[in-house]
Amino acid sequence: MSGKKLLTDHFKRYGWIYVFAFVLLASANIIYAFFPRILGQFADELNRNGLTRQAIVLYSLTLLAIGIGYGVLFGFGQYVNHRMGRRFEYNSRQRLFQHFTRLSEQYYSKNGIGKLLSYVMNDVTAVRESIANGVNQLTNASVLLISVITMMILSDIPKLLILSCILPLLSIPILVVYFGPRIRERSKKVQEALAEMTESAEEQFGGIRVTKTFGIEDIAQKRFGQTVDRIKDNQLLLVRMTAMFQAMIPFAGALSLVVAITYGGYLTIEGALSIGNFVALTLYLRMIMNPLQSIGNVINTVQRSRASLDRLNRLLAEKQDIQEAEQAVPLVQGAGDITIRGLSFAYPETDRLSLEQLNIHVPQGKTLGIVGKTGSGKTTLVKLLLRTYDPPRGTVFIGGQDIRDLTLESLRTQIAYVPQDGFLFSTTIRDNIAFYNRQAGNASVERAAKLAEVYDNVAGFTDRFETKLGERGLTLSGGQRQRTSLARGLIKDAPILILDDSVSAVDALTEASILQNLREVRKGKTTLLIAHRISAVKHADEIIVLEEGRIIERGTHQELLSKRGYYASLHEIQEEGVSHG
């Protein structure tokens, strides 16, 4: 989907409403264009016959009718346009979020949250303002301008005088060609600076506890201030350009008024132009001033919104790295047999292998333990199983099916993944646990909480499972967050469960209880346990030890201890720590 499609789809869907709004606004401005003509006629009649009660009543009622007609039609037309602008904003944000959900992890690793928020907040708003205010002002300005010029031509005002008054206005297209691209480029820099500031703010707020702990508030303020300064500098450059442009257009209108008063006044003195037509001419030109100012505003708004639209274009042109095969098939329901053959993998934009020649087989219903140093490739293996990154074809199979040939939905639906960080949403504990299925009953939620050994903690809260969590679940301790996240994975009851160091923040006794619960509830289902602590994996059917992406040891707990290798050394260190503790 492209940014142009974003606009064209909107206008195709609501085009008839915009036509209706255009008719309303156009009718309002055509009615308003009669205003100088009526006043000119009144001036001529006053000059010929003097002031009469009948003339006062007639012209007053006529002007009142013009005012009412203009006000009603203009107000309703403006409301319709702004309503459609808000509709565009609503639909665009929905479509942007849908697009965000389809982008790969690689994209998010390169772009901060603040930058993504800037697309949704700043850029969409800029385009919406261009649509709503731009359509309103452009319709008003163009129709009023055409109506006024038409009324002038149809009047008794000499055509040479009209041409002389309009001549200065021909400089407007030249101004647009000169200033337009420059305004758009500077607007683009402003939007990019806003994105940087939003990203910086998100980072500073997220790390405020670290900042206060280390007492470096001044440094944080300086870093954030640099992004604010960049916005200020870019905005000042934009303001200078737009101010100059908006000053030049009314100046062209002022020249027209000077010509009208000078040349028109001379013709009136010579008797070639009536007082009424002279009054009408000056009023017409005065009315032209507002449309000219509006045209300047519209061009400014459009150029600035085009910068935002260009950014949206680039975002919406981003393709998800993980693509389903054309003939993708769903994963067989309940499949849990995992086979990995000769798997080697390097992250994009690097030649260094994160995994090298892995061969693993986890039969249905068995448990595999994975240990290794930080950076040994444990989490990378999980990412490939979930296809957040694509493994080479013919290397990873589930239920005998190459995962590259599976639909993403069926693959990820049958895998429950519990990461180490235990991220929680700012909603209730119940909604966090029942995230996969919001329709899950209270009994299922409570059972999952008991399996994760977090039930007693939740039961101690006043609102129990309806307790609302703060951002990222900060009202819970680290261990409580991790266990709540574990309950979210367990309630899914998927054929494959992956725990990525998911009990690292709990004490040894709680860990033992959780692992015992897992052995009971996961009978007949496949489980992958990734951990640094030997106690978390020692009951696994097989354990592999990773180092720099390669398997250096494998076997059961007792077999690995007898080999006296890395695993045995790690076990000895941890056991010694426990005994000293």
Spatial separation of the C-alpha atoms in residues 127 and 130, rounded to whole Å: 5
Q: Which residues of the chain have pLDDT under 50?
A: 1-3, 579-581
Of 119, 88, 103, 126, nearest to 5 (Cα)? Answer: 88
Q: What is the pLDDT of residue 580?
A: 46
Q: What is the pLDDT of residue 397?
A: 93
Enumerate the H helices of 33-52 as residue ranges: 34-49
- What are the E-state strand segments in 423-560? 496-500, 526-530, 542-547, 550-555
- Give the torsion sign (CA, 37, 38, 41, 42): negative
Q: What is the pLDDT of residue 471?
A: 57
Report the helix count and the strand count for the chain, using DSSP H and E. Answer: 22, 10
Q: What is the pLDDT of residue 173?
A: 66
Dmax over CA atoms of the chain, in Å, equals 122
- What are the E-state strand segments in 363-495? 367-372, 396-398, 401-402, 415-418
Tokens 């052995």, located at residue: 519
Torsion of CA 294, 296, 302, 306, to 10 degrees: -170
> Does an H or E element contain 373, and which?
none
Burial class of residue 12 in the structure, from the number of CB atoms within 10 Å of its CB (0-12 exposed, 13-18 middle, 19+ buried): exposed
Q: 381 phi and psi, to 5 degrees?
A: -60, -40
Q: What is the pLDDT of residue 581?
A: 47
Render the burial of 91-130: b for 16+ CB within 10 Å, e for the rest: bbbebbeebeeebbebbeeebbebbbbbbbebbbbbbbbb
The answer to whether 200 touches 131, Cβ cutoff 8 Å, is no
Q: What is the pLDDT of residue 1?
A: 41
